Amino acid sequence: MPVLEKSDLRALGEKSRAGGALSREEARAVLNWPENELLDVVAEAHRVRHQHFGQKVKMNFLVNLQSGLCPEDCSYCSQSKDSKAPVEKYRLLSSDDVLDQADRAVAAGAARLCLVAAMRGPGEREMASLDETVRKVKEKYPRLEVCASMGLLKEGQAGRLKSAGVDAYNHNLNTSERHYEEICRTHTHSDRLDTIEKAKAAGLSPCSGAIFGMGETQDDIIDVAFRLREVGADSIPINFLIPVPGTAMARHNQLSPTDCLKILCLFRFVNPSMEIRIAGGRERHLRSLQALGLYVANSIFIGDYLTTKGQAASADRQMILDMGFEIEGEDNAPGSPTRPLPDPVEMVTRATRQ
């Protein structure tokens, strides 16, 4: 098991802040860092985060455009063709329904609206519907970012989404290439990479992340972190498996909160200037350490996920403000001084002395 001294950890952080690539030995050391010294890793990752994002936290709001009708066999997903989970089934939401959801997102302070449809990929009907929906959302909320996620893209579709006003396209790699066949067989890791490249070529901001807790090894975690750096993902959602009853992964083991923090730290070091978003499963796996994760990540989903409930958006907002962060896209209240971001090690040390 690789072990780094604290001086090596500081050098690792300096390398990351300068844009340098970690070695596999350094990456493995982060994942194996002793729990009783974990705050040292969080503090170093925080320095990287603060260099690129300061005190800002972006809030993102999910809309499940189409539910329970996917023909893919992704074993982690409650909407896959093999899932027995009792999820709601419906075709694409109308543009008016999505506008109602956009109203909720803006009212909650979200900077990005994420429109997700469970499908292999969009056909003409889905493209036309999304085109109309996005144009209406942008007409009402021109500053609201819109991210679409509709599966595998064909030639020309990414450009059409860009023309409609879509800002970003999400297609997660989910895991390493080696482990991919263990979680899905109806499409490949290469298929996902191809869609990311199509989105980038059309000028869409590439959003791609991973899910952890699916039986992957440390090498798989490191591989997907490095691959997302290679593909240049602007936004990286970090999901922790929600083992939904009725899915093939319903019995998978719980991740520990400290394991989740180490994964977040690794992704911050490997992708220093990219938006790292704490996504699905944070309430279940990070538990009482959710707030500490914000010292590493600069973005979260608020409200509910696709088919599972999340923490109340008001609680997320309060958590962000309680930590002394600022919500991206919102001005500080008149007369409110900007507070320096406290060092997590100092914060916890003070708390233990009280």
Contact (CB, 8 A) for 118 and 127: no
Catalytic residue among 17, 28, 49, 74, which? 74
Q: Any catalytic annotation for residue 265?
A: no
Contact (CB, 8 A) for 278 and 297: yes
Cα gap 194→203, rounded to integer Å: 15
Catalytic residue among 28, 277, 282, 317, which? 277
3-class secondary-structure state, position 97: helix
Contact (CB, 8 A) for 208 and 174: no
Q: Which two tokens stand for residue 307?
A: 């088919």
Work out the angle at residue 297's Cα, subtended by the Cα atoms of residues 342 and 188, and round it to the nearest 5 degrees.
170
Q: How far apart are the first and last CA of the chain?
A: 36
* Letter string b/e over residues 33-50, b meaning 16 or more CB atoms within 10 A of that residue's CB: beeeebbbbbbbbbbbbb
Q: Any catalytic annotation for residue 114?
A: yes
Catalytic residue among 207, 260, 265, 284, which? 207
Catalytic residue among 17, 28, 49, 77, which? 77
Q: Any catalytic annotation for residue 49?
A: no
Catalytic residue among 114, 184, 260, 265, which? 114
Number of Cβ atoms within 10 Å of the Cβ of 285 = 24
Q: Any catalytic annotation for residue 184?
A: no
Q: Any catalytic annotation for residue 260?
A: no
Half-sphere exposure of 337 (CA within 13 A, CB side): 3
Q: Any catalytic annotation for residue 207?
A: yes
Catalytic residues: 70, 74, 77, 114, 147, 207, 277
